[in-house]
Amino acid sequence: MNTQLFRILTFLILAIPSLALADLEWITGETPKATNEKPASTIIRDAPGEENHTITTGNQDVVVSILTTCTKLVNNYPADSVNYFYLDKNNQISYYAYFLIKPTSRIHTATVEWYSPSNVRIAKFDQDFRVSFVDRLLTFQNETYQWFMLDMTLGMDHLVSQFGQTGLPRDVGLYTIRLTVDGQLVGISFFYVKPGENKKPAPVSTVSPSITPASNDASGMTGLLPMSTPMSKESIMKSATGIGKLK
C-alpha cells in the first residue's frame, strides 16, 4: 500500500511542472514540449487585446487624406472623381493628392510616378514643400500637421513635359500612381484605360428620300427614274416629218 502511494505521489510531482510548462508555451505562442511537434506554419499567434492598441496616424510624419484621379482640375481642385478613361473619349488624366506633414524646418520632396499595365514608368514629377509653423495647421489627437496639395495632368494623346511625362497612356489596362514623400511610399492610386464606350450604331434609313419635281412637264420628270429614256417635247409625227425633209 505504501509503495503504491509513493508511486502516485512521484508521478504527480513529475507531471505537474510539465503541464505548467506546456500551458506557458501555449500562451507565448511556442509549441508545447509535452505535445506532438507541429510545423511552424500551423502556429498562429494571438493578436494583442484591444486595450493594448495605440492610436496611430500613418507613419506619424506624413498622413495622406485624399488620392484620386479625375477628368480635369478646376481652381486646383478635382472637378470629379473618375478611375476609368476611354481612348475615344478622354484626352487627359488629372491626379490630385491632399496630405499632411508635421511642421519642421527642413524641405520635403513629394514624388509622383505613373506606371503602365506593363510596369513601365510613363511620368515622374517632383515637388518640394517647406513646412512652416504658422499657417494651414491642423491638430488631431494632440498632433499638429500642416496640409499640402499636389496635382498634375497627363495627356492621353499628347505629352505634358512640365510634369515629366515620357509616355502616353494608350495601352488598355490598369495603371498605378505611386506617391512618395522623402523617399517613403505613402500612397498608391490606380485607374483603368478602356478601348472605348459601347455606343449603338446610328440607325440606317431604308426609305428613299422623296424628290419634288421641278415642273410638271416631261423634262422635270426625267430625274425621277434612273436610266429612263429621254422624252421629247415634240410629237412623234412632227419629228418624223422633220427627218424626211433632211433627206
Give the model confidence (pLDDT) of 12-35 as tens digits.
Answer: 566 555 544 444 433 444 444 444
CA dist 152 and 110 (Å) reads 12
Residue 12 lies in a domain: yes
Residue 186 lies in a domain: yes
Across the range 64-90, mean pLDDT stands at 92
pLDDT at residue 194 in the model: 96
Task: Read off the DSSP letter of residue 181.
Answer: E
Same domain, residue pair 169 and 69: yes
Residue 240 three-state SS: helix
pTM score:
0.57
Residue 206 lies in a domain: no
Task: Read off the DSSP letter of residue 210.
Answer: P
CB 194 within 8 A of CB 88: no
CB 214 within 8 A of CB 220: yes
pLDDT digits (tens, 9 = 90+) for 91-106: 999 999 998 888 877 8
The pLDDT-based confidence of 82 (bands split at 50, 70, 90) is very high
CA dist 73 and 86 (Å) reads 18
The pLDDT-based confidence of 141 (bands split at 50, 70, 90) is confident
Split into its structural domains, the chain has a count of 2
Cell triple for 51: 486595450
Domain encompassing residue 8:
1-36
Same domain, residue pair 4 and 126: no
Q: Where are the beta strands (DSSP E) in the chain?
A: 62-70, 73-74, 77-78, 84-86, 92-101, 107-115, 121-130, 137-140, 143-155, 173-181, 184-194
- The residue whose grid cell reads 488631431 is 140
Residue 20 lies in a domain: yes
Same domain, residue pair 26 and 135: no
Same domain, residue pair 26 and 74: no
Same domain, residue pair 77 and 17: no
Residue 47 lies in a domain: no
CB 96 within 8 A of CB 106: no
pLDDT at residue 231 in the model: 55
Same domain, residue pair 145 and 69: yes
Task: Read off the DSSP letter of residue 62.
Answer: E
pLDDT of 52 strictly over 70: no
Across the range 48-57, mean pLDDT stands at 49
Same domain, residue pair 136 and 177: yes
Most confident of 10-14, 139-143, 222-226, 230-234: 139-143
Same domain, residue pair 168 and 70: yes
Residue 96 lies in a domain: yes
- The residue whose grid cell reads 512640365 is 162
Residue 161 lies in a domain: yes
pLDDT digits (tens, 9 = 90+) for 143-153: 888 888 999 99
Same domain, residue pair 20 and 70: no
- The residue whose grid cell reads 494571438 is 46
Residue 165 three-state SS: strand
Residue 104 lies in a domain: yes
